[in-house]
Amino acid sequence: MITRVLGVTSVLVTCIFLTACGGAAMFREGPAHTGVTQATGPQQLDKLAWKFKAADKIYASPIVAGDTVYVGCKNGQLYALDLETGALKWSSKMGGNIEAPVAVVGSTVYVASWDKNVYAIDGGSQQMQWRFPTGDIAYSAPTIDGGVIYFGNKDSHLYAVDAGTGEQLWKFNARDSVYTSPAILDDKIYVGTLGGNFYAIDRETGQEQWRFPVRSPVYSSPVVEEDTVYFGSDNKYIYAVNTKTGQEVWKKRTSGKIFSSPAVYNNAIYFGSADTYVYAFNKANGHRIWEFKTRGAVYSSPVVTAESLYITSTDGNLYALRIADGELLWKYRVDDKLYSSPVVAGDKVIFTSLGGEVFAVK
């Protein structure tokens, strides 16, 4: 079912407004979800720069925008921390668990909550700009592009909402829960469902372009580059699908479920698996380039720089690997399981633990 309530003029006005306010920060580094950052990251581990303790468990991955780290908490608290010191700048309370990473454009922070709402919060005043009610838990990380915020929901819909006004543009019935964060390139949006389907959707109309049957839940958010979209699945396969035809290019099986969202850089895709390994596969044919074994399941999604890959494992370690060959550069261990994905900001790597701590190492 498709519902459209606003015209193109509203989208264009909002796009101009958002562009004037600066770039966007979101899960997987941008709308295409490549997982590649321009930041350098530490090549050698020097020290723990700072640590922040939240009031409850943290499932969400951190997002860095400017000099601020944003992270949500199980008790509904959104924290804004100083990137340099880790000091609390401000916090704002939602009505439910914030499991998904937030998105930030200019001074506005977009938050998906388990209280069945998506919020736009002003980072300066901490006042709510708008609230968009959904039919169920909002646990998909919002993606913003062209003045529109796109997000999935447990109510089986993918939503397109005007980022400036909070007005619904359209919604797409995916027939099952949408946990993944939508990836966007050119005129299509790509998203998987827990019902085992993967969709390409027209970003202007919300109409289905093609459907790829996975027949297994898709928790892995896709990454799209040129004419191929890549994603993992509960059935232990990593898929490469042609963006124009919806036909399989290749698929390769690991020994564990794949919750990790792939990163794409140069000729390779990088991802983790519940089988305890981090993998690098040739993006054209799926041939394995290298693998690195951790001591726990890897649910985290990697972030990649020009030389390094950073990823966490449930063994309690943040790993820095050389992207050329998967060699260990360094690791940093905490006394907790790590599920969320790290983010690189300058010479720091920021990550969270399930127990409710935010770490910055350099």
Q: How far apart are CA 204 and CA 161, in angstroms?
A: 11
How much is the average pLDDT of 292-312? 98
Neighbours of 195 (CB within 10 A): 16
How many CA atoms lie less than 13 Å away from 182 in the CB half-sphere? 30
168-182: pLDDT as tens digits: 999 999 999 999 999
Residue 149 lies in a domain: yes
Residue 3 lies in a domain: no
pLDDT confidence of residue 46 = 86
CA 51, distance to chain mean position in Å, is 22
Residue 1 lies in a domain: no
User: Which region, left, alpha or beta, applies to residue 76 given φ > 0 means left and ψ of -120 to 50 means alpha?
Assistant: left
Look at residue 155 and give its three-state secondary structure: coil
How much is the average pLDDT of 71-82? 98
How much is the average pLDDT of 228-238? 98
How much is the average pLDDT of 264-290? 98
192-212: pLDDT as tens digits: 999 999 999 999 999 999 999
CA-nearest of 265, 226, 266 to 243 is 226
132-191: pLDDT as tens digits: 999 999 999 999 999 999 999 999 999 999 999 999 999 999 999 999 999 999 999 999
Residue with tokens 């303790």: 53
pLDDT confidence of residue 15 = 39
Residue 21: pLDDT over 90: no
Confidence class for position 100, pLDDT limits 50, 70, 90:
very high
Neighbours of 359 (CB within 10 A): 23
CA-nearest of 124, 117, 188 to 155 is 117
Give the domain CATH number at 338.
2.130.10.10
Residue 18: pLDDT over 90: no
CA-nearest of 284, 258, 143 to 201 is 143
Residue 191 lies in a domain: yes
Residue 262 lies in a domain: yes
Cβ contact 136:171 at 8 Å: no
How much is the average pLDDT of 15-43? 79
pLDDT confidence of residue 23 = 77
Tell me the residue range of the domain where 38 lies: 8-361
Residue 2 lies in a domain: no
Residue 21 lies in a domain: yes
Amino acid at 303: V
Confidence class for position 17, pLDDT limits 50, 70, 90:
very low
Residue 299 lies in a domain: yes
Cβ neighbours of residue 327 closer than 8 Å, sequence gap 6 or more: 321
If one counts the domains in the chain, the total is 1
pLDDT confidence of residue 16 = 33
Task: Indicate the burial class of 6 (C-beta count within 10 angstroms; 0-12, 13-18, 19 or more).
Answer: middle
What are 224's strand-pairing partners? 229
Say what the pTM is. 0.93
